[in-house]
Structure 1
Amino acid sequence: MLAVLGVGPGLGLSIAHRFGREGFTTALVSRTDARHATYRASLAGVDAPTYTADVTDEAQLRDVLVRITADAGEIDTVYFGPADATSGPGITPLTEAGAVALRTSFDSIVLPAARLVETVLPGMLERGSGSLLFAGGLSGKYPIPMLGSLAPASAALRMYVLTLHAALRETGVYAGILTVGGLIERGDIHRVFTAQDHGFTPGTLDPDDIAEKAWSLYAERDAAEAEFNALAAV
């Protein structure tokens, strides 16, 4: 069973499709239920229960994981997609970002990931199996000034997952990260960005291609990271 935390119409839904093709029940979690009916319809033939929770809220995160387990059984795999730049206060240039701006990014990206691991990892270790998949930003690996205050949190998430991967190597539990640079087609950021004239067009990425690699990471369990770079300047 796969829990997709932070599902959207782009990568999260593609992850659900890809794992659903392999017979996984895919529990979908998002902040509101506004698009849940559409998600379930697009996953015809896949057991895809939907849940509403803000995964950046500790109590809501723990509660939704309990509900998923009660409804669908033990969670074999979790996919965590951090809150995107269209929500919250947005991006602050790093030259202007103080501690509060940086803490806000950590609160929405790194801490929820750590709380998720804290909640599901003990059971996985006890069973000797399970997978933890995360999506992160390319600014966590390369300097991308335009992503400003998101970069330190992206870097922290990336290193957190890479270190988890190394620490779990002999346990039967896998951790890996999808490091993404570019606009993901069909996603909310892609929709918001393309609705405005920014004077330039960053490269785009097909979420189905990323989801296919996510499945490879899950199945092969050897590499800790897959990078997707559609940013010509990086």
Structure 2
Amino acid sequence: MKTIAIIGAGPGLGLSLAKKFGSKDFNVALISLHESTLVPLVIELKALNINSKYYVSDVRDLEKLGSTLKQVQSDFGTIDVVEFSPYAGPQTFRHALEMNIDDVEEQYKMQVLPAIKLVQTVLPSMKEKGSGAILFNSGISALHPIPELGNTGIVCSGLRNYALNLHNLLKEEGIYVGFLAVATLIKKGTEGDPDLIAETWYDLYDKQDQFETVYPKMN
């Protein structure tokens, strides 16, 4: 069986991704900051006969993140897909005219540095196998500047730049790097239902015929 590691797993998109990939015979490793968030997810997945395990790790602690990913590799034998979507919440967003250096640095430590660390950790084994996928999830400010998301927009666009470089450099080695920008509020029963986003993510991973997509599609 293949294994997906979901970094930033929660009861919304993380759980939907776990269910989607799990339904395709993936083991699921859930990584997040709070054990209280992770335990119910594993219980729900196991009720669906999806083999899963949780790991508590703060993405801002780069050494801990690296050791956690290595533990996942040890527990499951491999990481075939890693999905990266840490989310601190709207309380950390700052307007472009009101943000300060600390506001940007906080987002940078939450998104860019751990993204680099996860790539450095999982890429060697993926190169050795000649296969694998690294999936980056972000908000729409990565592509379209929104003043109210001034600090996170800077960081998300940088994350996208890094992901695109990886995509172009690794595609000839059998390793897929994809980017999905969510342009709506993620909420059950709405256009931004996490199950629908998970379907889009799996389709992007399965086809591997383009670098990125925006959900929902924008005119």
TM more than 0.5: yes
The percent identity for this pair of structures is 38
2:195 and 2:156 map into 1 onto residues whose CA distance is 22
User: Counterpart of 2:215 in structure 1: which amino acid?
Assistant: F
- Residue 148 of structure 2: aligned partner: 146
Tell whether the 8 Å contact from 2:127 to 2:173 is kept in structure 1 after alignment: yes
- Residue 85 of structure 1: aligned partner: 89
Tell whether the 8 Å contact from 2:95 to 2:148 is kept in structure 1 after alignment: yes
Residue 30 of structure 1: how far off its partner (Å):
1.0
1:84 and 1:100 map into 2 onto residues whose CA distance is 15
- Residue 207 of structure 2: aligned partner: 220
1:69 and 1:85 map into 2 onto residues whose CA distance is 29
Tell me the alpha carbon deviations over residues 137-170 of structure 1, each in whole angstroms, 9 at most, x when there is no partner.
Answer: 1001012112121110011111211221111121
- Residue 50 of structure 1: aligned partner: 54
1:35 and 1:6 map into 2 onto residues whose CA distance is 10
- Residue 120 of structure 2: aligned partner: 118
Give the aligned length: 214
1:139 and 1:229 map into 2 onto residues whose CA distance is 14
2:176 and 2:106 map into 1 onto residues whose CA distance is 28
Is the aligned partner of 1:184 residue 2:186? yes
Decide which of 168, 171, 192 is 1:169's aligned counterpart: 171
1:59 and 1:129 map into 2 onto residues whose CA distance is 25
How is 1:35-74 mapped onto 2 (pairs within 5 angstroms)?
35-43=37-45, 44=47, 45-74=49-78
Tell me the alpha carbon deviations over residues 165-222 of structure 1, each in whole angstroms, 9 at most, x when there is no partner.
Answer: 1111210000001101221015xxxxxxxxxxxxxxxx85011111111111111111
How is 1:3-14 mapped onto 2 (pairs within 5 angstroms)?
3-14=5-16
1:116 and 1:14 map into 2 onto residues whose CA distance is 22
- Residue 133 of structure 1: aligned partner: 135
Please, which runs of 5 or more residues in structure 2 have no aligned partner? none
2:98 and 2:148 map into 1 onto residues whose CA distance is 12
Residue 35 of structure 1: how far off its partner (Å):
2.6
SS of equivalent to 1:106: helix
Tell whether the 8 Å contact from 1:61 to 1:116 is kept in structure 2 after alignment: yes
SS of equivalent to 1:121: helix
2:25 and 2:216 map into 1 onto residues whose CA distance is 30
Please, which runs of 5 or more residues in structure 1 have no aligned partner? 187-202
Runs of 4+ more than 3 Å apart: none
User: Counterpart of 1:216 in structure 2: which amino acid?
Assistant: D
Tell whether the 8 Å contact from 1:204 to 1:230 is kept in structure 2 after alignment: no
Tell whether the 8 Å contact from 1:205 to 1:230 is kept in structure 2 after alignment: no
Q: TM-score with structure 2 length normalisation?
A: 0.92
Is the aligned partner of 1:75 residue 2:92? no
2:131 and 2:13 map into 1 onto residues whose CA distance is 24
Aligned-residue Cα RMSD (Å) equals 1.7
Q: TM-score with structure 1 length normalisation?
A: 0.86
2:99 and 2:205 map into 1 onto residues whose CA distance is 36
